Amino acid sequence: MVSQPRQALPTMYDLPSEDPNEPGLPDEFHALQPQLLSATLRLRRYAPDAYFTGMDLNLYYDPDHTLWHKRPDWFLALGVPRLYAGHDLRLSYVVWQEQVSPFIVVELLSPGTEAEDLGDRTSQPGQPPSKWQVYEQILQVPYYFIFDRYTNQFRGFQCCQGRYQPLELAAQRFWLPELELGLGVWQGNYQGITRPWLRWYTEDEVWLPTPEERAIREQQRADLAQQQADQARQRAELAQQQVDQARQQADLAQQQIDQARQRAELAQQQIDQERQRAEQAESQVAQIARNLAQTGMSLADIAQMTGQTVAQLQAWLAEE
């Protein structure tokens, strides 16, 4: 079959994903799980504007049958701009325009799509091929993962020479060296729902956080840093209080020393004053004794009058 000339092929704008005859999302899980895959995807080898993740978006794959499409629950295309033509949000993903097939496709099993997703249905001549045939033989998507929300079974397939080979998943995880990321089943709470979810993890087996989880962790780190800063400030304030108390105690001790010295100086002054008064009184008595001696009064009478001993009187008279 001859392909149409490329310039005559329909574009993304001619092939949107909306179809009034198609039912909506089968359940809430089919909305939340793809969101979690996109929210936790971090590619070190690719800039954020150098890859595209599609969620429940029509994937047009055959330029000879331009209306044939599949609708993967989630897929990743590498090396294409995040925005269509660098400026517009995608209405669909048209492979013959993008020139890049998805690198990974993830399908979430539903009771009505299991045969289609697992390749248990073969298409009739002239009819669109199954998802399995499209991913494996037409697009040759390197990795195809399937997750059953009812049994929590996680399966993966790698395209080798045009055929899917099952992957060995250890502990429901698989490492993709091309992305330097792993994809696995995580038991946890997302959007208020606790159950097994598919999400990405690092080589250290750490689950990559969502923006909300990162914001919470950043807030927790900020709160912890603030607590540590508050505790450090409180310790500094306590240390300053202790320094102030020690200085106050030292000042009080110095005041007590100064007061004791002042009391000692006052006592010495009082002693000196008493000694001076005693010396003055003694000098006056001595002068009186000399005056009386000059009148011819006997030393015995003078001693009796002044209350001094004769020896003391003799000593005073000898000083003249």
Domain-wise residue ranges, the chain: 6-208, 221-318
pLDDT at 23: 46
Cβ-based neighbours of 217, under 8 Å, separated by 6 or more:
209
> Which CATH number describes the domain made up of 6-208?
3.90.1570
Give the list of residues 6+ apart from residue 71 with CB closer than 8 angstroms, or none.
17, 56, 57, 58, 59
At 259, give phi and psi (nearest 5°): -65, -40
Give just the sign of the alpha carbon dihedral 288, 291, 297, 299: positive
What are 183's strand-pairing partners? 174, 200
> Is 90 exceeded by the pLDDT of residue 62?
yes
Neighbours of 27 (CB within 10 A): 11
**What contacts 24+ positions apart, CB below 8 Å, involve 302-308?**
none
State yes or no: pLDDT of 2 exceeds 60.
Answer: no
136: Cβ–Cβ under 8 A, 6 or more apart, which residues? Answer: 119, 144, 157, 159, 162, 163, 164
CA 204, CA 20: separation in Å to the nearest integer?
45
82 three-state secondary structure: coil
In angstroms and rounded to an integer, the radius of gyration of the C-alpha atoms of the chain is: 52
Angle between the 299-306 and 310-318 helix axes, to the nearest 10 degrees? 110
What integer pLDDT is reported at residue 110 of this predicted model?
A: 81
Q: Give CA–CA dist 144/301, Å, rounded.
A: 143
| Residue-level pLDDT at 5 | 54
Label residue 27 by pLDDT band (50, 70, 90): confident
Distance of CA 225 to the CA centre of its chain: 9
Q: What is the pTM of this model?
A: 0.69
- Average pLDDT (262-267) is 92
Supply the pLDDT for residue 25.
47
134-158 confidence digits (pLDDT tens)? 999 999 999 999 999 999 999 999 9
Per-residue model confidence (pLDDT) at position 53: 98
Between CA 144 and CA 240 the distance in angstroms is 65
CB contact at 8 A, 158 and 141: no
Please, which pLDDT band fits residue 195 given cuts at 50, 70 and 90? very high
Nearest Cα neighbor of 103 from 47, 62, 145, 49 is 145
Residue-averaged pLDDT of the chain: 89
Confidence of residue 265 (pLDDT cuts 50, 70, 90): very high
Does 116 or 144 have the greater pLDDT score? Answer: 144
- Beta bridge partners, 188, equal 195
Of 93-107, 262-276, 306-320, least confident by mean pLDDT is 306-320
Residue 116 has pLDDT above 80, yes or no: no
Supply the pLDDT for residue 1. 41
Cβ(167)–Cβ(184) below 8 Å: no
pLDDT tens profile 208-262: 999 998 999 999 999 999 999 999 999 999 999 999 999 999 999 999 999 999 9
Q: Averaged over 68-74, what is the pLDDT? A: 96
Which residue, 135, 81, 133, 126, is CA-closest to 105?
135
Work out the percent of the chain whose per-residue pLDDT is above 90.
69
| Residue 22 reports pLDDT greater than 60 | no
The continuous run of DSSP H or E covering 294 comes out as: helix 211-294
Beta bridge partners of 59: 70, 93
Does residue 72 surpass a pLDDT of 90?
yes
* Backbone torsion region of residue 319, taken as left when φ is above 0, otherwise alpha when ψ lies between -120 and 50, otherwise beta: alpha
